[in-house]
Amino acid sequence: MENKAVSFIITLHLLVFTSVFGQDLKPITDQSKIVGNGVKSGQISSVCLGDETAPSLDLNWKPLLVTKKELKEFHPEVPDEEKLDSIKKAKQLIKQESFRPNAENDNQKTTPILGVNWLGNLNSGSSPLDNNIAISNGGIIVSVSNDILEIDDSQGSLLYYNDFVTFFNSSSIEDVCDPVVLYDNQADRFILFFQECSGTAANSKLCIAFSKTNNPSVDGWWKYLITGNPLNDGSWFDYPKMSISSNELYITGNLFYETGGFNEAILYQIDKSDGYNGAALTWQYWHNISGSPFTLLPVGHGQGLNFGPGCYLVATESSGSSSIDLYDLTDYMSGNPSLNHYVIPTTSYSPAANANQLGSSCMLDNGDCRSLSGFYLDGTIHFVFHSDIGNGWNGINYNRLSVSNGSNLSAMIGLEGSYDYSYPAIASIGNSITDKSVIIGFLRSGSDIYPQVRAINCDNTMAWSSSILVKGGDDFASYTSATTERWGDYTGACRKYNSGNVWINGMYGNFENEWDTWIAEISIGQNGLEETPSSTSKIKVSPNPIYYNYSIEFNLEQSKEIEIHLIDQNGNIIKSLYSGYAHSGTNKFSFNKGMLPSGMYFLEILDKSKNKIQNEKIIISSSN
């Protein structure tokens, strides 16, 4: 077991390009480095609202297009909104002068491999989608977007699909947003969160569901509501983050006054065993947190091992800084916890200008520099956000914060002058707790590409691979605005603990100039697309006729960049299913038919020059 003692002797700045049963976290011993604390509430109990075992919506008719609802864009100001806007506007002018066409940098390291992948949660009237994902050891995948819950198996077969208001079935829940989901490797259960987001203090709620088993599509969830206005001061809750330790669940967020303006950050500390048992939920909260952080990121164990007591949290400044705030929640509720605050120097960072996209003058909002995703492993907190990589261009800012010596090692990757790399999410892909290798999923856009989803590997020595295309954009996005479209707010990434592979879901521009998500498995080595040399050219489709989900298999004599389209009988492209690289040998993909009417269609595979490689007739059926 390791000790989490911190001496804070050295600070490292940029630029350097087994397995155990658990990892104990103990209070930091160097108390002289504490710059502040937080205030703890008393313990509170919330009764279980019952369970959810109702059937999902008709799985054969998962919609590709839905009736758009009136958008309620609750996008509260950050504490330094004017400063942030001023920085981004100034950098936009610099960025325009530094544009240069460029291809993806090829670092010739261990490039990730794209495995099975398919269309994920669809746009249901929101922007951005706030997508997140978790996968169990048994291969059950729970994915979420702003108001949609979807459960699949690891081949993309749909097991459950519903909107959150229907799913939660509570008269007090009217509008929902910002879902987060995680898988608890120790308990073999899922935890699901979303918030009531009507923007009023009276109705601000944290909606939490604990799966009864490792397959909630069959066995359902226990449901709970916790107030989002615990201070009873006219505030409402937003910007959630979530993690777990061995005994507890941690949910963080920002409180905003109903009359306008940021109030303070808050941390909920919750006994997760209550939730798994359908018992009354015991919890407490922390407020008046030192340093006035805006968006606290709690981090769980990166490889799903026992972890605790308490947890670590990090926060970065939205408008840039040269330091990182580290918080140490020292114990469980059953003990005597404190919330200690440390300031860790780091390489200076600042926000970048907004991003371009092909085919439109509408910019994509690069947001700010808040920490987005992270985990703890072997004395190191791994976390990511995005920031200016040079001349106003956005890049991935990857950090390894050592809690044993109080240092932070940061490294950036991007393509200054060509593309913006934004909204990263990180997961461990190392073979042991001492292997620091990670996969980072992220979004990319530029003036010559539509908004797309990509993934990249940073290895144990902090050397970067080339990135891979996970899903190319079908078109630009300009759903809520003709000038600046929301982008992000976060991408999902999670480790499948018993295999080590990483699963991501990211947001891309669809043919309706809106957003959809794409789910994909990412591996290092030979666990992705199968590579069996063959010269056979026919596409194999199973099943055919297609009732809902289907897989396709085809062979290539050599690796090449391809596109896969679904074509109607008049030769019109109905859906672009994939754009990226395929391997020599056998390639396998999984998709679903969505809301396509019954009839005959064609699957068509083209190379980069739009030359047809293969095609196959398919039949869509309305029922099975």
User: Residue 483 domain-assigned?
Assistant: yes
The domain total for the chain is 2
Rounded to whole angstroms, how far apart are CA atoms 561 and 468? 11
Q: Which two tokens stand for residue 307?
A: 């972890």
Residues 391 and 270 in one domain: yes
Question: What pLDDT band is residue 102 in, cutting at 50, 70 and 90?
Answer: low
The yes-or-no verdict on residue 602 having pLDDT over 50 is yes
Residues 486 and 588 in one domain: no
pLDDT at 545: 77
| 167 CB-near residues (< 8 Å, 6+ apart) | 52, 149
- Taking CA atoms, 107 is separated from 136, 438, 458, 478, 546, in Å, by 33, 16, 11, 34, 41
User: Residue 370 domain-assigned?
Assistant: yes
Rounded to whole angstroms, how far apart are CA atoms 66 and 253? 30
Rounded to whole angstroms, how far apart are CA atoms 228 and 235? 8
User: Residue 148 domain-assigned?
Assistant: yes
Residues 475 and 581 in one domain: no
Other beta carbons within 10 Å of 108: 9
Average pLDDT over residues 18-44: 72
Residues 475 and 596 in one domain: no
Residues 346 and 442 in one domain: yes
User: Residue 20 domain-assigned?
Assistant: no
The yes-or-no verdict on residue 107 having pLDDT over 70 is no
Residues 488 and 574 in one domain: no
User: Residue 106 domain-assigned?
Assistant: yes
> Residues 31, 37, 39, 42: is their CA dihedral positive or negative?
negative
Name the nearest CA neighbour of 110 among 525, 410, 516: 525
Amino acid (one-letter) located at 84: L
Other beta carbons within 10 Å of 22: 13
Summarised one tens digit per residue, pLDDT across range 143-168 is 999 889 999 999 888 899 999 999 99
Rounded to whole angstroms, how far apart are CA atoms 351 and 394? 8
Task: Supply the range of the domain harboring residue 561.
Answer: 540-620
Q: Which two tokens stand for residue 619?
A: 């039949």
Where is pLDDT greater, at 161 or 427?
A: 427
Summarised one tens digit per residue, pLDDT across range 318-338 is 999 999 999 999 999 999 999
User: Residue 3 domain-assigned?
Assistant: no
Question: What pLDDT band is residue 75 in, cutting at 50, 70 and 90?
Answer: low
Rounded to whole angstroms, how far apart are CA atoms 566 and 617? 10
Summarised one tens digit per residue, pLDDT across range 228-269 is 999 999 999 999 999 999 999 999 999 999 988 999 999 999
As a whole number of Å, the CA-based R_g of the chain is: 23
Residues 324 and 443 in one domain: yes
For all residues of the chain together, what is the average pLDDT?
Answer: 85
Burial 118-151 (b: 16+ CB within 10 A, else e): bbbbbbbebbbbbbbbbbbeeebbbbbbbbbbbb
Summarised one tens digit per residue, pLDDT across range 367-394 is 999 999 999 999 999 999 999 999 999 9
Rounded to whole angstroms, how far apart are CA atoms 168 and 130? 19
Which of the 8 DSSP states describes residue 497? T
User: Residue 22 domain-assigned?
Assistant: no
Q: Is-contact 133 493, C-beta < 8 A?
A: yes
Q: Which two tokens stand for residue 193?
A: 């969160």
Q: Which two tokens stand for residue 375?
A: 């985990």
Residues 265 and 312 in one domain: yes
Residues 204 and 90 in one domain: yes
pLDDT at 526: 38
Q: Which two tokens stand for residue 83?
A: 């400063």
Which of the 8 DSSP states describes residue 166? H
Summarised one tens digit per residue, pLDDT across range 540-595 is 887 877 776 777 888 887 777 888 888 887 788 888 888 777 776 777 776 777 76
Summarised one tens digit per residue, pLDDT across range 278-317 is 999 999 999 999 999 999 999 999 999 988 999 999 999 9
CATH number of 416's domain: 2.120.10.10
CATH number of 560's domain: 2.60.40.1930
Q: Provide the CB-side half-sphere exposure for 210 (13 A, CA).
A: 25
Amino acid (one-letter) located at 236: W
